[in-house]
Structure 1
Amino acid sequence: MYAIVDIETTGGKYNEEGVTEIAIYKFDGHKVVDQFTSLVNPERPIQPFVVNLTGINNEMLRNAPKFYEVAKRIVEITTDCTIVAHNAKFDYRIMRLEFRRLGYEFQRQSICTVELSKKLIPNMPSYSLGKLVKNLGIPLTDRHRASGDALATVKLFKLLLQKDSQKEIITHSVRSNPKIHLDTKLIRIIDELPSSTGVYYMHNEEGDVIYIGKSKNIKKRINQHFTSDNHKSKKIQKEVYTVTYENTGNELLALLKENEEIKKNKPKYNRALKKDIFSYALYQSKDKKGYLQFKIGKASPDKENITTFTNSAQAKSTMERIVEEFELCQKHTGLHKTSGSCFNYSIKECYGACVGEESVEDYNQRARQVIDKYSYENKNMLVIDRGRDVDEKSVILIEDGKFCGMGYFNLNYQMNNIDMIKNIITPMKNNRDSQHIIQSYLRKNKPFKIIEF
């Protein structure tokens, strides 16, 4: 659990400042579950440059509560939480300073989103909160007011959690949490999980990720893990300490994230991905007359393919749909091996490419539509689909036919240039498995929008 904090102060000499406004949003890694915002009477004058910056003046604070009057609420909302702030050294120092004035030692773990951003989003022109969130497409209202800055930090931290593919933030959080009795462990874990689509991470007591999976219903899938009596499930049940998760909004992003993070984190209970997740592929060639030929064969890393399939049955059923949709010849697609006409020609569902009646140009025009639809080789495109919330969309970036990564953007903020999209996406590796996942998903599902550029 995280307490995302922003504090405005009077300014002045080091360790002589006073709090003028505080905002705290309790964040479980997915949503805000509690919040506290208040003006605070600092019992000292505000520096003129601070008044100009924040708009908070001495008159506004005359009847505001003093810090000792809000201290109990601050302690309550931050208990068992890690403090998160943009430039956490400042906000955490000010909180501790105010509590020391009351004779109370305030101590929490802390995370700085400036340091995290420099690590996870390198080469940004500026890491000030205002400029950073603008370049990331994160809305920011009431700049230099505690609530506005804290809410922007919540959204920034959510993006950083998504980009943390090594799961270092979550691992740190798990290690910091109080230990819970094992008897109630599995029931508690299931109760806290959502029935949404995403990726889940099983951690041991040290916080290490021991298993990664994806599901359209995370709660249901974890329940299956914990009620199964197979050998691996029993070992996981004994070792698991907690389960964290990331909502992805749709299955495609869950599949891509699972594939990437299993390879990167190598959890002990995930099978080593020595084999590709597909075994068959669709290839193209031309016969002596120049007709485009399609053929299903075993997937090979040495041969360029149009698209890939999990098994031969999936490949054949897809090829049958292609023949029907694009009115292709069964002979030129490998579905009917014959030296003469194909079966569809006999029932007048083939234009006669198999016997030379249809011109090469007419037939190949439709055949090239298949290649264009099922292969994104050399294409630049964005795949836009459902996000995690109603005001959000997900985006997958493909450049020069290579998968670059995935991310999310707010519908109220226009994604008007490719550089901004590159800032918000989590970079991911382009490999045969990720290409297969994208192609296979797009064959079966229609995303919200595909934009070519």
Structure 2
Amino acid sequence: MMYAILDIETTGGKYNEEGITEIAIYKFDGHEVIDQFITLVNPEKPIQPFVVNLTGINNAMLHNAPKFFEVAKRIVEITTDCVIVAHNANFDYRILRTEFSRLGFDYKRQSLCTVELSQKLIPDQKSYSLGKLVRNLGIPLSDRHRASGDAQATVKLFKLLLSKDLEKSIISATVRKDTKKKVDDKLLKLIESVPSETGVYYMHREDGKVIYIGKSKNIKKRLTQHFTNDNKKSKKIQDEVITVTYEITGSELVALLKENEEVKLNRPKYNRALRKIKFDHALYQFTDDHGYINLKIDKADGRKPNITTFTNVQQAKSLMHQWTEKYQLCLQLVGLEKGDSNCFKYTIKECEGACVLEEPSATYNIRAQELIQANSLENKNILVIDRGRTVGEKSIVLIENGKFAGIGFYNLNHQVNNIEILRSIITPMSHNRDAKHIIQSYTRKNKRLKIVTLSPNE
């Protein structure tokens, strides 16, 4: 077994935006160092001041240093067929992979973390930071927070760990494919096969049958979660899944609607809850004895027509307060206040007095209707236009006569100006309470969506 024991110093900064300033790699055969590579690196970005104080490496020192692409080949060579070993391997391995991915190269190695190994093989230490740990173990450390000094100390620490490892767990079971939880080859290959994009994914078992359907804004990330979770359901999926297929949607709205439709249609084994869309309250309207339109938040009831639905009562009340303000409605007539006399807003002259019959119902009802019209799909013929799967493409969600009709994609404007072409590019889907809630809540949250009203003759 060959090891590449390394340490990396960086510029600091935002996660995954750090640059390498120094790298030291010692190739170790389990007994001695047989090769080494140490260099400063020009990160082409400034170093955070606190990092300068910590490492002593400043921007001026790196001016003539090689850039990462100039040393990348040497790093690949010295680490080929090696297990990467580092103190907090998550960090160093991530930084290396990030730098290589910027060059378009998929850098993959097995990795070991000397923090985790020390916690297992040298328990009860007060600290597992490199400086304190090696001092407590009597291992010399010079040039702390410089790549070479830290990497040399890690070599000595790793030697000690190998000698303490009587069960040979380092050489066998502890070696992992990545610094995340252990995932076998099959699952790793499946994760690699999907993109980091928005869409719907399908897990198939050996006979091709779909056993799970999901949607995500980042399919690769979501699949990694599925395959690293160790709950009962995830483990069953991990055992059964043989392949994963996916469809990019670009738009999260389209992904949500597609998932909703296809789960109901296919009833996959592990979508047991049939992906219940969470909403338990709705907005209803009625006209009182004095002719005023009243609005009321109540438990969602599929038998009664509603204006819109809400995830929960808190969200419902929060939105109602906003809408009451926007449309200058009366707190009592929207159910946010109870009482026989005037509402609070009337007291502070912000209500026209519908609560005490001062404002004529006809004028009050115009504003109430505006709220209803803005938040209801009733009788509407509209297109909700969102981002597509590629640059220049758009996604569409078609509502006809207040009912969800389907989804589609288009590149050219004439395609959505012609109802016949529009109907032919739409994938028809069924209108149900869940689809309606998905559309209404998504359009509420995403104000930048383009919503086009289709004229009746279309």
Q: Same fold per TM (> 0.5)?
A: yes
Check the 8 A contact 2:200/2:255 in 1, yes or no: yes
Pick closer, same or farther for the CA change 1:442–1:402 going to 2, 3 Å.
Answer: same
Contact 2:415–2:422 at 8 Å: present in 1 too? no
CA contact 1:415–1:421 (8 Å) conserved in 2: yes
Distance 1:191 1:205, change over 3 A: same
Matches within 5 A, 1:181-192: 183-192=184-193
Name 2:382's counterpart in structure 1: 381
Which runs of structure 2 are paired with 1:17-416 in the superposition (5 Å)? Answer: 183-273=184-274, 277-411=278-412, 414-416=415-417
Q: Is the 8 A contact 1:285 1:294 kept in 2?
A: yes
Q: Distance between the aligned counterparts of 1:412 and 1:375, measured in 2?
A: 26
- Counterpart of 1:423 in structure 2 is 424
Q: CA deviation at 1:321?
A: 1.4
AA aligned to 1:311 is N
SS at match of 2:417: coil
Is this contact kept in 2: 1:391–1:412, CA < 8 A? no
Q: Give, in whole Å, the separation in 2 of the partners of 1:407 and 1:321.
A: 33
Q: Which of the pair has the greater relative contact order for Cα pairs under 8 Å at 6+ separation?
A: 1
Deviation, structure 1 residue 274: 8.9
Rounded to whole Å, the distance in 2 between the matches of 1:268 and 1:255 is: 19
**1: CA distance, partners of 2:267 / 2:415:** 37
Question: Following the alignment from structure 1 to structure 2, what is the Cα–Cα distance between the partners of residues 328 and 368?
Answer: 11
Deviations 1:208-238 (A, max 9, x none): 1100111111111111111111111111111
Q: 1:426-450 CA distances to partner (integer Å, 9 max, x unpaired)? A: 1100111111111111111121232
Amino acid at match of 1:448: K
1:249-288: CA deviations, max 9, x gaps? Answer: 1111111000000000110000243966422110000111
Q: CA separation in 2, counterparts of 1:200 and 1:450? A: 29
Does the aligned pair in 2 maintain the 1:249–1:386 contact within 8 Å?
yes
CA distance in 2, matches of 1:209, 1:242: 10
Looking at CA atoms only, which structure, 1 or 2, has the larger radius of gyration?
A: 2
Distance in 2 separating the partners of 1:414 and 1:432: 29
SS of 1:260 mapped into structure 2: helix
Cα pair 2:263 2:275 within 8 Å, conserved: no
Residue identity over aligned pairs, in percent, reads 61
1:414 to partner: Cα distance = 3.9
The one-letter code of the counterpart of 2:190 is I
Q: CA deviation at 1:413?
A: 5.2
Is the 8 Å Cα contact of residues 382 and 453 (structure 2) preserved in structure 1? yes
Distance 1:254 1:263 in 2: 14
- Return the offset for 1:292: 0.6
Q: Alpha carbon RMSD of aligned pairs, Å?
A: 1.7
- CA contact 1:403–1:430 (8 Å) conserved in 2: yes
- TM-superposed CA distance for 1:192, in Å, is 2.2
The structure 1 segments of at least 4 consecutive aligned residues displaced by more than 4 Å after TM superposition are: none
Task: Give the AA of the match of 1:451.
Answer: T
CA contact (8 A) 1:386 1:448 kept: no
Contact kept in structure 2, 1:266 and 1:272, CA below 8 Å: no
Kept in 1, the 8 Å contact 2:415–2:421? The answer is no
**Gaps in structure 1 of 5+ consecutive residues:** 1-181
Change (3 A) 1:269 1:444: same
Q: Distance in 2 between matches of 1:420 and 1:445?
A: 27
The verdict on how the C-alpha distance between 1:375 and 1:218 changes in structure 2, with shifts beyond 3 A counting, is same
1:450 matched residue in structure 2: 452
- Partners of 1:274 and 1:208 lie apart in 2 by 18
Residue identity in the other structure for 1:452: L
Alignment: residue pair count: 272
Q: Secondary structure at the match of 2:298?
A: strand
Letter matched to residue 351 of structure 1? E
In 1: Cα distance, 2:277 partner to 2:411 partner: 34
Q: CA distance change for structure 1 residues 325 and 391 in 2, over 3 Å: closer, same or farther?
A: same
What does residue 16 of structure 2 align with? Answer: none
- Whether the 8 Å contact between 1:276 and 1:432 is mirrored in structure 2 is no
Seen in structure 2, the aligned counterparts of structure 1 residues 211 and 282 have a Cα distance that, compared at 3 Å, is same
Cα distance in 1 for residues equivalent to 2:441 and 2:332: 24
1:196–1:356 distance in 2 versus 1, CA, 3 Å: same
What TM-score do you get using the length of structure 2 for normalisation?
A: 0.57
Match of residue 145 from structure 1: none
Q: CA deviation at 1:349?
A: 2.1
Distance 1:333 1:327 in 2: 11
Shift of 1:242: 1.6
Letter in 1 for 2:319: T
